[in-house]
Structure 1
Protein backbone atom coordinates (compact mmCIF):
# COMPACT_ATOMS: atom_id res chain seq x y z
CA UNK A 1 0.00 0.00 0.00
CA UNK A 2 1.22 3.52 -0.77
CA UNK A 3 2.19 5.78 2.09
CA UNK A 4 -0.66 7.95 3.34
CA UNK A 5 -0.04 11.70 3.35
CA UNK A 6 -2.21 14.06 5.38
CA UNK A 7 -2.74 17.05 3.10
CA UNK A 8 -5.22 19.03 5.19
CA UNK A 9 -6.76 18.18 8.56
CA UNK A 10 -8.99 20.40 10.68
CA UNK A 11 -12.40 20.28 12.32
CA UNK A 12 -14.36 20.77 9.10
CA UNK A 13 -12.58 18.44 6.70
CA UNK A 14 -9.68 16.06 6.16
CA UNK A 15 -7.86 15.35 2.90
CA UNK A 16 -5.54 12.35 2.53
CA UNK A 17 -3.33 11.42 -0.39
CA UNK A 18 -2.67 7.77 -1.22
CA UNK A 19 -0.50 7.49 -4.31
CA UNK A 20 -2.30 9.32 -7.13
CA UNK A 21 -5.61 9.40 -5.28
CA UNK A 22 -7.05 11.96 -2.88
CA UNK A 23 -9.63 10.99 -0.27
CA UNK A 24 -11.62 13.92 1.08
CA UNK A 25 -13.88 13.69 4.13
CA UNK A 26 -16.16 16.67 4.80
CA UNK A 27 -18.65 17.13 7.62
CA UNK A 28 -20.98 19.12 5.35
CA UNK A 29 -22.24 16.95 2.47
CA UNK A 30 -23.29 20.08 0.54
CA UNK A 31 -19.62 20.91 -0.07
CA UNK A 32 -18.96 17.70 -1.99
CA UNK A 33 -22.27 17.97 -3.84
CA UNK A 34 -21.24 21.39 -5.16
CA UNK A 35 -17.72 20.19 -5.94
CA UNK A 36 -18.91 17.23 -8.01
CA UNK A 37 -21.52 19.31 -9.88
CA UNK A 38 -19.06 22.11 -10.58
CA UNK A 39 -16.29 19.85 -11.88
CA UNK A 40 -18.78 18.24 -14.26
CA UNK A 41 -19.67 21.58 -15.88
CA UNK A 42 -16.60 23.84 -15.84
CA UNK A 43 -14.62 24.30 -19.10
CA UNK A 44 -11.24 23.91 -17.40
CA UNK A 45 -9.14 20.88 -16.39
CA UNK A 46 -10.21 19.30 -13.08
CA UNK A 47 -9.51 16.08 -11.18
CA UNK A 48 -11.48 12.99 -12.16
CA UNK A 49 -14.14 11.90 -9.66
CA UNK A 50 -13.45 8.24 -8.84
CA UNK A 51 -16.32 7.78 -6.42
CA UNK A 52 -18.52 9.79 -4.09
CA UNK A 53 -20.26 8.37 -1.03
CA UNK A 54 -21.04 11.13 1.47
CA UNK A 55 -19.20 12.19 3.51
CA UNK A 56 -16.30 10.85 1.36
CA UNK A 57 -15.18 12.02 -2.08
CA UNK A 58 -12.32 10.29 -3.90
CA UNK A 59 -10.64 12.08 -6.81
CA UNK A 60 -7.53 11.60 -8.91
CA UNK A 61 -4.42 13.72 -8.59
CA UNK A 62 -3.71 16.24 -11.34
CA UNK A 63 -0.27 16.41 -12.98
CA UNK A 64 2.12 19.32 -12.63
CA UNK A 65 2.70 21.47 -9.58
CA UNK A 66 0.93 24.29 -7.82
CA UNK A 67 1.29 27.76 -9.32
CA UNK A 68 2.79 28.85 -6.01
CA UNK A 69 2.38 28.99 -2.25
CA UNK A 70 1.05 31.86 -0.17
CA UNK A 71 3.90 33.48 1.70
CA UNK A 72 6.59 32.68 -0.88
CA UNK A 73 7.30 34.21 -4.30
CA UNK A 74 5.89 32.17 -7.18
CA UNK A 75 8.63 30.80 -9.42
CA UNK A 76 6.12 30.05 -12.20
CA UNK A 77 6.86 31.88 -15.44
CA UNK A 78 4.92 34.87 -16.75
CA UNK A 79 3.65 32.57 -19.50
CA UNK A 80 2.28 30.14 -16.91
CA UNK A 81 0.46 32.98 -15.13
CA UNK A 82 -0.97 34.14 -18.46
CA UNK A 83 -2.16 30.59 -19.19
CA UNK A 84 -3.89 30.56 -15.82
CA UNK A 85 -5.50 33.90 -16.67
CA UNK A 86 -6.88 32.50 -19.93
CA UNK A 87 -8.19 29.48 -18.03
CA UNK A 88 -9.95 31.66 -15.46
CA UNK A 89 -11.49 33.76 -18.25
CA UNK A 90 -13.00 30.59 -19.76
CA UNK A 91 -14.44 29.78 -16.37
CA UNK A 92 -15.96 33.23 -15.91
CA UNK A 93 -17.42 33.20 -19.45
CA UNK A 94 -19.15 29.85 -18.89
CA UNK A 95 -22.89 29.60 -18.12
CA UNK A 96 -23.76 30.56 -14.55
CA UNK A 97 -24.78 27.51 -12.48
CA UNK A 98 -28.37 27.15 -11.23
CA UNK A 99 -27.60 27.07 -7.51
CA UNK A 100 -27.57 30.25 -5.36
CA UNK A 101 -24.46 32.34 -4.94
CA UNK A 102 -23.29 34.88 -2.40
CA UNK A 103 -24.93 38.31 -2.46
CA UNK A 104 -23.36 41.68 -1.78
CA UNK A 105 -25.40 41.88 1.42
CA UNK A 106 -24.02 38.49 2.55
CA UNK A 107 -20.46 39.65 1.94
CA UNK A 108 -21.03 42.93 3.76
CA UNK A 109 -22.53 41.18 6.78
CA UNK A 110 -19.61 38.74 6.98
CA UNK A 111 -17.09 41.55 6.58
CA UNK A 112 -18.64 43.61 9.37
CA UNK A 113 -18.77 40.58 11.66
CA UNK A 114 -15.14 39.63 11.08
CA UNK A 115 -13.90 43.22 11.43
CA UNK A 116 -15.67 43.43 14.79
CA UNK A 117 -13.90 40.22 15.88
CA UNK A 118 -10.51 41.52 14.72
CA UNK A 119 -11.00 44.77 16.63
CA UNK A 120 -12.07 42.93 19.78
CA UNK A 121 -9.24 40.39 19.63
CA UNK A 122 -6.43 42.87 18.79
CA UNK A 123 -4.90 40.40 16.34
CA UNK A 124 -3.75 43.43 14.34
CA UNK A 125 -3.86 47.12 15.30
CA UNK A 126 -7.24 48.79 15.06
CA UNK A 127 -6.07 51.31 12.46
CA UNK A 128 -5.05 48.42 10.16
CA UNK A 129 -8.52 46.90 10.43
CA UNK A 130 -10.29 50.22 9.88
CA UNK A 131 -8.16 51.25 6.90
CA UNK A 132 -8.63 47.88 5.19
CA UNK A 133 -12.36 47.99 5.91
CA UNK A 134 -12.44 51.31 4.04
CA UNK A 135 -10.55 49.81 1.10
CA UNK A 136 -12.80 46.72 1.08
CA UNK A 137 -15.88 48.91 0.66
CA UNK A 138 -14.96 49.36 -3.03
CA UNK A 139 -15.69 45.66 -3.63
CA UNK A 140 -19.18 45.95 -2.12
CA UNK A 141 -20.93 47.12 -5.27
CA UNK A 142 -23.48 45.37 -7.50
CA UNK A 143 -21.81 42.80 -9.74
CA UNK A 144 -23.00 40.68 -12.64
CA UNK A 145 -22.75 37.10 -11.34
CA UNK A 146 -20.36 34.81 -13.16
CA UNK A 147 -19.38 31.20 -12.59
CA UNK A 148 -16.57 31.56 -10.06
CA UNK A 149 -14.37 29.07 -8.25
CA UNK A 150 -14.97 30.82 -4.95
CA UNK A 151 -11.68 29.79 -3.31
CA UNK A 152 -9.15 30.20 -6.12
CA UNK A 153 -6.03 30.09 -3.98
CA UNK A 154 -2.68 29.86 -5.73
CA UNK A 155 -2.25 26.32 -4.37
CA UNK A 156 -5.46 25.21 -6.08
CA UNK A 157 -4.12 25.77 -9.62
CA UNK A 158 -1.60 23.33 -11.16
CA UNK A 159 0.63 23.98 -14.15
CA UNK A 160 3.21 22.13 -16.21
CA UNK A 161 5.28 23.51 -19.11
CA UNK A 162 3.37 26.80 -18.89
CA UNK A 163 0.01 25.03 -19.32
CA UNK A 164 -2.77 24.58 -16.79
CA UNK A 165 -3.11 20.92 -15.88
CA UNK A 166 -5.84 21.15 -13.27
CA UNK A 167 -7.83 23.30 -10.86
CA UNK A 168 -8.88 21.66 -7.59
CA UNK A 169 -11.19 22.24 -4.59
CA UNK A 170 -14.48 23.39 -6.13
CA UNK A 171 -16.69 23.17 -3.02
CA UNK A 172 -17.36 26.94 -3.01
CA UNK A 173 -18.06 27.29 -6.74
CA UNK A 174 -21.18 29.12 -7.86
CA UNK A 175 -22.47 32.50 -9.02
CA UNK A 176 -20.25 35.29 -7.73
CA UNK A 177 -17.97 38.25 -8.41
CA UNK A 178 -15.22 37.35 -10.89
CA UNK A 179 -12.97 40.04 -9.39
CA UNK A 180 -12.92 38.00 -6.17
CA UNK A 181 -11.38 35.03 -8.01
CA UNK A 182 -8.67 37.26 -9.52
CA UNK A 183 -7.92 38.75 -6.11
CA UNK A 184 -7.78 35.40 -4.32
CA UNK A 185 -5.39 34.01 -6.93
CA UNK A 186 -3.02 36.99 -6.60
CA UNK A 187 -3.35 37.48 -2.83
CA UNK A 188 0.17 37.93 -1.51
CA UNK A 189 1.42 37.87 -5.12
CA UNK A 190 0.16 41.26 -6.20
CA UNK A 191 3.14 41.74 -8.50
CA UNK A 192 1.81 38.89 -10.71
CA UNK A 193 -1.53 40.57 -11.47
CA UNK A 194 -0.25 41.97 -14.78
CA UNK A 195 0.95 38.49 -15.82
CA UNK A 196 -2.44 37.02 -14.94
CA UNK A 197 -4.30 39.72 -16.88
CA UNK A 198 -2.07 39.14 -19.92
CA UNK A 199 -4.06 35.93 -20.39
CA UNK A 200 -7.34 36.93 -18.77
CA UNK A 201 -7.65 40.20 -20.63
CA UNK A 202 -8.69 43.56 -19.24
CA UNK A 203 -12.31 43.59 -20.43
CA UNK A 204 -14.49 44.01 -17.36
CA UNK A 205 -11.51 44.13 -14.98
CA UNK A 206 -11.44 46.85 -12.32
CA UNK A 207 -8.06 46.88 -10.60
CA UNK A 208 -9.42 48.95 -7.71
CA UNK A 209 -11.99 46.26 -7.04
CA UNK A 210 -9.33 43.54 -7.18
CA UNK A 211 -7.28 45.50 -4.64
CA UNK A 212 -10.38 45.89 -2.49
CA UNK A 213 -10.89 42.14 -2.51
CA UNK A 214 -7.30 41.64 -1.30
CA UNK A 215 -8.26 43.56 1.83
CA UNK A 216 -11.71 42.00 2.08
CA UNK A 217 -10.55 38.39 1.81
CA UNK A 218 -7.74 38.96 4.30
CA UNK A 219 -10.14 40.50 6.80
CA UNK A 220 -12.77 37.77 6.58
CA UNK A 221 -10.36 34.79 6.45
CA UNK A 222 -8.12 35.59 9.41
CA UNK A 223 -10.34 34.33 12.25
CA UNK A 224 -11.13 31.04 10.45
CA UNK A 225 -7.45 30.43 9.81
CA UNK A 226 -6.50 31.10 13.43
CA UNK A 227 -9.30 28.91 14.80
CA UNK A 228 -8.35 26.02 12.50
CA UNK A 229 -4.65 25.95 13.28
CA UNK A 230 -3.25 28.06 10.43
CA UNK A 231 -1.10 31.17 10.76
CA UNK A 232 -2.35 34.21 8.82
CA UNK A 233 0.53 36.20 10.35
CA UNK A 234 3.22 34.21 8.53
CA UNK A 235 5.33 36.35 6.16
CA UNK A 236 3.41 37.19 3.00
CA UNK A 237 0.09 35.88 4.33
CA UNK A 238 -3.22 37.56 5.19
CA UNK A 239 -2.13 39.84 8.02
CA UNK A 240 0.90 40.92 6.03
CA UNK A 241 -1.46 41.79 3.17
CA UNK A 242 -3.47 43.97 5.54
CA UNK A 243 -0.36 45.75 6.80
CA UNK A 244 0.85 46.26 3.22
CA UNK A 245 -2.27 48.28 2.47
CA UNK A 246 -1.19 50.69 5.20
CA UNK A 247 2.11 51.19 3.44
CA UNK A 248 0.22 51.90 0.21
CA UNK A 249 -1.83 54.66 1.87
Structure 2
Protein backbone atom coordinates (compact mmCIF):
# COMPACT_ATOMS: atom_id res chain seq x y z
CA UNK A 1 0.00 0.00 0.00
CA UNK A 2 1.38 3.44 -0.92
CA UNK A 3 2.58 5.70 1.84
CA UNK A 4 -0.09 8.27 2.72
CA UNK A 5 2.34 11.09 1.97
CA UNK A 6 2.66 9.82 -1.61
CA UNK A 7 -1.06 9.78 -2.42
CA UNK A 8 -1.97 12.46 -4.95
CA UNK A 9 -4.81 14.80 -4.03
CA UNK A 10 -7.55 15.47 -6.58
CA UNK A 11 -8.25 19.20 -6.75
CA UNK A 12 -11.38 20.53 -8.47
CA UNK A 13 -10.12 23.63 -10.28
CA UNK A 14 -13.45 24.57 -11.83
CA UNK A 15 -16.67 22.68 -12.42
CA UNK A 16 -20.02 23.60 -13.93
CA UNK A 17 -22.65 22.06 -16.17
CA UNK A 18 -20.64 22.43 -19.38
CA UNK A 19 -17.20 21.22 -18.29
CA UNK A 20 -14.87 20.54 -15.40
CA UNK A 21 -11.15 20.76 -14.77
CA UNK A 22 -9.38 18.59 -12.19
CA UNK A 23 -5.76 18.66 -11.06
CA UNK A 24 -3.98 15.49 -9.96
CA UNK A 25 -0.37 16.20 -9.07
CA UNK A 26 1.22 17.84 -12.10
CA UNK A 27 -1.56 16.86 -14.50
CA UNK A 28 -4.72 18.76 -15.37
CA UNK A 29 -7.69 16.76 -16.65
CA UNK A 30 -10.18 18.80 -18.66
CA UNK A 31 -13.55 17.11 -19.13
CA UNK A 32 -15.81 18.60 -21.81
CA UNK A 33 -18.85 16.98 -23.39
CA UNK A 34 -18.44 19.23 -26.45
CA UNK A 35 -15.64 17.61 -28.44
CA UNK A 36 -15.58 20.55 -30.87
CA UNK A 37 -14.32 22.82 -28.07
CA UNK A 38 -11.54 20.38 -27.30
CA UNK A 39 -10.64 20.20 -31.00
CA UNK A 40 -10.31 24.00 -31.05
CA UNK A 41 -8.24 24.02 -27.88
CA UNK A 42 -5.72 21.47 -29.13
CA UNK A 43 -5.38 23.07 -32.57
CA UNK A 44 -5.12 26.60 -31.16
CA UNK A 45 -2.37 25.61 -28.71
CA UNK A 46 -0.43 24.03 -31.56
CA UNK A 47 -0.70 27.25 -33.58
CA UNK A 48 -0.13 29.83 -30.83
CA UNK A 49 3.32 31.52 -30.71
CA UNK A 50 3.20 31.74 -26.89
CA UNK A 51 3.89 29.11 -24.22
CA UNK A 52 1.02 26.66 -23.68
CA UNK A 53 0.64 23.48 -21.60
CA UNK A 54 1.99 20.24 -23.07
CA UNK A 55 -0.74 17.87 -24.23
CA UNK A 56 -0.06 14.55 -22.48
CA UNK A 57 -2.91 12.57 -23.98
CA UNK A 58 -6.43 12.92 -25.27
CA UNK A 59 -9.43 10.62 -25.19
CA UNK A 60 -13.10 11.38 -25.95
CA UNK A 61 -14.27 14.13 -23.61
CA UNK A 62 -10.98 14.24 -21.64
CA UNK A 63 -7.81 16.23 -22.31
CA UNK A 64 -4.73 15.73 -20.11
CA UNK A 65 -2.35 18.68 -19.86
CA UNK A 66 0.92 19.17 -17.99
CA UNK A 67 0.83 21.76 -15.21
CA UNK A 68 2.48 25.09 -15.94
CA UNK A 69 5.33 26.50 -13.90
CA UNK A 70 4.53 29.50 -11.70
CA UNK A 71 1.16 30.90 -10.68
CA UNK A 72 -1.72 32.85 -12.24
CA UNK A 73 -1.11 36.51 -13.04
CA UNK A 74 -4.12 37.26 -10.85
CA UNK A 75 -7.76 36.46 -10.21
CA UNK A 76 -10.87 38.52 -10.79
CA UNK A 77 -12.01 40.14 -7.55
CA UNK A 78 -8.61 39.80 -5.86
CA UNK A 79 -5.56 42.10 -5.86
CA UNK A 80 -2.72 40.80 -7.99
CA UNK A 81 0.70 40.31 -6.42
CA UNK A 82 2.40 40.03 -9.83
CA UNK A 83 4.99 42.66 -10.70
CA UNK A 84 4.42 45.44 -13.25
CA UNK A 85 7.01 43.67 -15.43
CA UNK A 86 4.94 40.47 -15.32
CA UNK A 87 1.85 42.37 -16.46
CA UNK A 88 3.90 43.96 -19.26
CA UNK A 89 5.17 40.50 -20.25
CA UNK A 90 1.55 39.35 -20.48
CA UNK A 91 0.84 42.29 -22.78
CA UNK A 92 3.81 41.32 -24.95
CA UNK A 93 2.55 37.72 -25.15
CA UNK A 94 -0.84 38.97 -26.31
CA UNK A 95 0.85 41.05 -28.99
CA UNK A 96 2.76 37.99 -30.23
CA UNK A 97 -0.52 36.09 -30.48
CA UNK A 98 -2.28 38.90 -32.32
CA UNK A 99 0.60 39.17 -34.81
CA UNK A 100 0.41 35.44 -35.62
CA UNK A 101 -1.38 33.98 -38.68
CA UNK A 102 -5.14 33.71 -38.26
CA UNK A 103 -6.71 30.41 -37.25
CA UNK A 104 -8.83 28.95 -40.05
CA UNK A 105 -12.13 29.18 -38.14
CA UNK A 106 -14.07 32.44 -37.62
CA UNK A 107 -15.17 33.98 -34.33
CA UNK A 108 -18.30 35.86 -33.30
CA UNK A 109 -19.29 38.68 -35.62
CA UNK A 110 -20.44 42.17 -34.65
CA UNK A 111 -24.01 41.15 -35.48
CA UNK A 112 -23.81 38.16 -33.14
CA UNK A 113 -22.43 40.30 -30.31
CA UNK A 114 -25.14 42.92 -30.91
CA UNK A 115 -27.88 40.28 -30.74
CA UNK A 116 -26.42 38.76 -27.59
CA UNK A 117 -26.10 42.20 -25.99
CA UNK A 118 -29.75 43.02 -26.68
CA UNK A 119 -30.95 39.68 -25.32
CA UNK A 120 -28.86 39.81 -22.14
CA UNK A 121 -29.78 43.42 -21.36
CA UNK A 122 -33.46 42.55 -21.70
CA UNK A 123 -33.05 39.52 -19.39
CA UNK A 124 -31.18 41.56 -16.76
CA UNK A 125 -33.94 44.19 -16.63
CA UNK A 126 -37.02 41.94 -16.98
CA UNK A 127 -35.78 39.66 -14.20
CA UNK A 128 -34.73 42.55 -11.90
CA UNK A 129 -31.18 41.26 -11.78
CA UNK A 130 -29.68 44.73 -12.23
CA UNK A 131 -31.16 48.25 -12.12
CA UNK A 132 -32.44 49.55 -15.44
CA UNK A 133 -30.18 52.65 -15.35
CA UNK A 134 -27.09 50.50 -14.76
CA UNK A 135 -27.92 48.26 -17.70
CA UNK A 136 -28.85 51.18 -19.97
CA UNK A 137 -25.67 53.12 -19.24
CA UNK A 138 -23.41 50.13 -19.78
CA UNK A 139 -25.22 49.17 -22.95
CA UNK A 140 -24.52 52.66 -24.29
CA UNK A 141 -20.85 52.25 -23.38
CA UNK A 142 -20.71 48.70 -24.79
CA UNK A 143 -22.00 49.70 -28.22
CA UNK A 144 -18.69 51.49 -28.93
CA UNK A 145 -17.06 48.05 -29.12
CA UNK A 146 -19.34 47.03 -31.99
CA UNK A 147 -17.43 48.86 -34.70
CA UNK A 148 -15.59 47.26 -37.63
CA UNK A 149 -12.32 45.56 -36.63
CA UNK A 150 -9.49 43.82 -38.42
CA UNK A 151 -9.55 40.17 -37.26
CA UNK A 152 -6.53 38.80 -35.40
CA UNK A 153 -5.78 35.49 -33.67
CA UNK A 154 -7.45 35.93 -30.28
CA UNK A 155 -7.45 33.67 -27.23
CA UNK A 156 -11.10 34.49 -26.64
CA UNK A 157 -11.15 33.95 -22.85
CA UNK A 158 -7.96 35.62 -21.68
CA UNK A 159 -8.84 35.94 -18.01
CA UNK A 160 -5.95 36.79 -15.69
CA UNK A 161 -6.27 33.34 -14.10
CA UNK A 162 -5.44 31.78 -17.49
CA UNK A 163 -2.03 33.50 -17.74
CA UNK A 164 0.74 31.91 -15.65
CA UNK A 165 3.89 33.77 -14.66
CA UNK A 166 7.06 32.94 -12.77
CA UNK A 167 8.67 36.15 -11.60
CA UNK A 168 8.52 38.49 -14.58
CA UNK A 169 8.20 35.71 -17.18
CA UNK A 170 5.03 34.34 -18.79
CA UNK A 171 5.31 30.55 -18.50
CA UNK A 172 2.10 29.65 -20.27
CA UNK A 173 -1.49 30.46 -21.21
CA UNK A 174 -4.38 28.08 -20.46
CA UNK A 175 -7.88 27.38 -21.79
CA UNK A 176 -7.87 27.93 -25.56
CA UNK A 177 -11.32 26.52 -26.34
CA UNK A 178 -12.67 29.98 -27.30
CA UNK A 179 -9.73 30.85 -29.58
CA UNK A 180 -10.79 32.25 -32.95
CA UNK A 181 -10.52 35.22 -35.28
CA UNK A 182 -11.65 38.35 -33.46
CA UNK A 183 -11.02 41.84 -32.15
CA UNK A 184 -7.63 42.38 -30.51
CA UNK A 185 -9.20 44.71 -27.96
CA UNK A 186 -11.51 41.93 -26.78
CA UNK A 187 -8.48 39.99 -25.49
CA UNK A 188 -6.89 43.07 -23.92
CA UNK A 189 -10.17 43.97 -22.23
CA UNK A 190 -10.61 40.46 -20.86
CA UNK A 191 -7.06 40.42 -19.49
CA UNK A 192 -7.49 43.79 -17.76
CA UNK A 193 -11.10 43.27 -16.58
CA UNK A 194 -11.29 44.18 -12.89
CA UNK A 195 -7.60 45.09 -12.86
CA UNK A 196 -7.66 48.59 -14.32
CA UNK A 197 -4.67 49.54 -12.16
CA UNK A 198 -2.50 47.27 -14.37
CA UNK A 199 -3.84 48.50 -17.71
CA UNK A 200 -0.88 50.82 -18.35
CA UNK A 201 1.56 47.93 -17.83
CA UNK A 202 -0.39 45.69 -20.21
CA UNK A 203 -0.52 48.39 -22.89
CA UNK A 204 3.21 49.15 -22.46
CA UNK A 205 4.03 45.48 -23.05
CA UNK A 206 1.57 45.18 -25.93
CA UNK A 207 3.00 48.19 -27.76
CA UNK A 208 1.36 50.31 -30.43
CA UNK A 209 -1.80 52.35 -30.20
CA UNK A 210 -4.60 50.94 -28.07
CA UNK A 211 -8.00 52.63 -28.15
CA UNK A 212 -8.79 52.71 -24.44
CA UNK A 213 -12.37 53.86 -24.98
CA UNK A 214 -13.11 50.79 -27.08
CA UNK A 215 -11.26 48.56 -24.62
CA UNK A 216 -13.43 49.90 -21.80
CA UNK A 217 -16.50 49.34 -23.98
CA UNK A 218 -15.55 45.67 -24.11
CA UNK A 219 -15.42 45.66 -20.28
CA UNK A 220 -19.07 46.67 -20.25
CA UNK A 221 -20.06 44.33 -23.05
CA UNK A 222 -18.29 41.29 -21.62
CA UNK A 223 -19.71 41.95 -18.15
CA UNK A 224 -23.28 42.39 -19.42
CA UNK A 225 -22.99 39.15 -21.41
CA UNK A 226 -21.49 37.26 -18.49
CA UNK A 227 -23.87 37.89 -15.59
CA UNK A 228 -26.60 35.40 -16.54
CA UNK A 229 -24.12 32.64 -17.48
CA UNK A 230 -22.24 33.07 -14.21
CA UNK A 231 -25.40 32.98 -12.11
CA UNK A 232 -26.75 29.92 -13.92
CA UNK A 233 -23.44 28.05 -13.53
CA UNK A 234 -22.98 28.67 -9.83
CA UNK A 235 -20.61 31.66 -9.89
CA UNK A 236 -21.11 35.06 -8.25
CA UNK A 237 -20.81 38.10 -10.53
CA UNK A 238 -21.85 40.26 -7.54
CA UNK A 239 -18.68 39.42 -5.57
CA UNK A 240 -16.45 42.44 -4.83
CA UNK A 241 -14.36 43.44 -7.84
CA UNK A 242 -16.22 41.17 -10.24
CA UNK A 243 -18.54 41.83 -13.19
CA UNK A 244 -21.26 43.83 -11.45
CA UNK A 245 -18.67 46.09 -9.81
CA UNK A 246 -17.10 46.58 -13.25
CA UNK A 247 -20.50 47.69 -14.56
CA UNK A 248 -21.00 50.05 -11.61
CA UNK A 249 -17.61 51.64 -12.27
CA UNK A 250 -18.85 52.79 -15.70
CA UNK A 251 -21.62 54.93 -14.14
Q: Which TM-score band applies after superposition, normalised by the shorter structure?
A: over 0.9
1:230 aligns with 2:213: no
1:51 aligns with 2:52: no
Distance 2:160 2:104 in 1: 26
What secondary structure is seen at the aligned counterpart in 1 of 2:250? helix
Give the structure 1 partner of residue 152 of structure 2.
146
Q: How many residues align?
A: 245
Partner of 2:13 in structure 1?
A: 7
Runs of 4+ in 1 over 2 A off after TM superposition: none
Structure 1 counterpart of 2:175: 169
2:136 matches 1:130:
yes
Post-superposition shift, 1:202? 2.7
Deviation at 1:73, TM superposition (A): 1.5
Moved more, 114-123 or 86-95: 114-123
Contact 2:82 2:167 in 1 (8 A): no
What SS is found at the alignment partner of 2:230? helix
The one of 95, 106, 126 aligned to 1:120: 126
Query: How big is the shift at 1:74?
Result: 1.2
2:203 corresponds in structure 1 to: 197
- The aligned counterpart of 2:93 is 87
Residue 66 (structure 1) aligned with residue 47 (structure 2) = no
- Structure 1 unaligned blocks of 5 or more: none
Question: What residue in structure 1 maps to residue 193 of structure 2?
Answer: 187
Q: What is the aligned counterpart of 2:84 among 75, 78, 81?
A: 78
CA distance in 2: counterparts of 1:223 and 1:13, whole angstroms? 17
Look up the SS of the partner of 1:151 in the other structure.
coil
The unaligned stretches of length 5 or more in structure 2 are 1-6
TM-score by length of structure 1 reads: 0.97
Decide which of 210, 218, 235 is 2:215's aligned counterpart: 210
1:230 alignment partner, SS class: coil
2:88 and 2:206 in contact (8 A); partners too:
yes
> 2:83·2:167 contact (CA, 8 Å) conserved in 1?
no
Considering only aligned residues, what root-mean-square deviation do their CA atoms show, in Å?
A: 0.7
Q: 2:184 aligns with which of 178, 196, 202?
A: 178
- Rounded Cα–Cα distance in structure 2 between residues aligned with 1:39 and 1:63: 17
